[in-house]
Amino acid sequence: MTEYCWLLADSAWWGQDTWWGRCALPLHDGLPAGPPRAREQVPASARATYLPGTLLPGLHDAHVHSGLVELREVRAGGIARVDDLGSSPSRIAELLAHEDSSLPVCRFAGAMLTAPGGYPSRRGWAQPDLYRQVASERDARLAVAEQRDLGANSIKITLHTRAGPVLGDDVLRVLVDTAHDNDLYVVAHTEGADTFSTALLHGVDRLAHVPWTERIGETALAAARDMIWISTLDIHGYGHRTAELECAQDNLRRFREHGGTVRYGTDLGNGPLPLGVNAREVAALQQAGMSVDDVLLAMTDPDLSAPPCVIPEGLDSDPTALATALSTAQVVRLTDEEHPGKRRAHD
């Protein structure tokens, strides 16, 4: 029989299994083994640790660049899992070389795949192996295989018409088809006129950013409702209102009205962004019409592959307090000393 360690908390937000009251969360090997339960379900002999505050599934940033930030600080700032959407293979290999509990759980796309001379090859911050230039259909198959063999769970492509050439239709078709044949989803950076429609036409699964350079029409939004859009709203002003931010929020609001899914992501490594939960990103999502539950669903790890998080002072349904409360999140890490043989007096 599996032996669980239990976390006892004042409350928990867990999607459909939300407990606004005393509850217990089973853990196995540091990961949630199911939703929170009533305290009465914890065996009297079980190991249990009390944590004041509100438990959440692991908070997840769906767009980071680990070669441009210190991931230990990201985890210390409350993020339990990250999706790396463009880093050099050498950096990825370094992360995978050894287990390190001070790092967030990391899934990655590997190098960005772009046209010869395309974005981000002309950017000063782009290390030479952060991107991979793809010149032909044959090269497209090889590029996908390279990322797959590295351990990638996704493929990142760039379609940026304002920063150089973009992938042609034939190459793009092969990239997407080859990725899907290898059970990899495709994330696209789309920037500039018609890049969204190109991504939609070729069956791209996710957008690395909510579109901000053009207003997306209602017909296209309806056709895109099976996509996932990663938010990254704060990069369009870093706390200041801009036309780009307003365009992105308008597209996001209407995309969700058509049934589209939005995931919280910040593009860490791009400008002055906090290493951890970004309260400005949370506030920008709320300004785009997302409720407390909507934001938490966008931020939490649905497959329970990361440790849970806790809000030490607690969380409630007050939308005005959400961004500040989430910025205090901590990833739960229990050492052997914190696994007592019996319940603590706080129970």
Per residue in 34-54, pLDDT (tens digit) is 999 999 889 988 999 999 999
Three-class SS state of 18? coil
Res 118: pLDDT: 95
Check pLDDT > 90 for residue 78: yes
- Give pLDDT tens digits for 221-265: 999 999 999 999 999 999 999 999 999 999 999 999 999 999 999
Closest listed residue to residue 187, CA positions, set 260, 302, 86: 86
pLDDT value at residue 205: 98
What residues have CB less than 8 Å from 149, skipping those under 6 apart?
none
The residue-averaged pLDDT of 188-206 equals 96
Confidence tier at 271 by pLDDT (50, 70, 90): very high
Average per-residue pLDDT for the chain: 91
- pLDDT the model gives residue 2: 62
CA distance 92 to 235: 24
Least confident of 21-25, 89-93, 173-177, 218-222: 89-93
Contact 265, 62 (CB under 8 A): yes
Nearest to 85 by CA among 268, 347, 306: 268
Q: What is the reported pLDDT for 341?
A: 37
DSSP string for residues in 110-154: -SEEE-TT-TTTT-TT--TTTEEE--SHHHHHHHHHHHHHHT-SE
Q: Is 324 helix (H, G, I), strand (E, B) or coil?
A: helix
pLDDT digits (tens, 9 = 90+) for 333-343: 875 434 433 33
What is the pLDDT confidence band of residue 125, given thresholds at 50, 70 and 90? Answer: confident
User: Other C-beta atoms within 10 Å of 332: how many?
Assistant: 21
Alpha-carbon gap, residue 310 to 78, rounded angstroms: 8
Residue 271 makes CB contacts below 8 A (sequence gap 6+) with 235, 238
pLDDT at residue number 93: 79
Q: Calculate mean pLDDT across residues 88-103.
A: 80
Average the pLDDT over 140-166 and give the result: 95
Check residue 335 and give its pLDDT: 56
- 75's tokens: 């985890």
- By the 8 A CB rule, do 24 and 36 touch? yes
Q: How far apart are the first and last CA of the chain?
A: 25
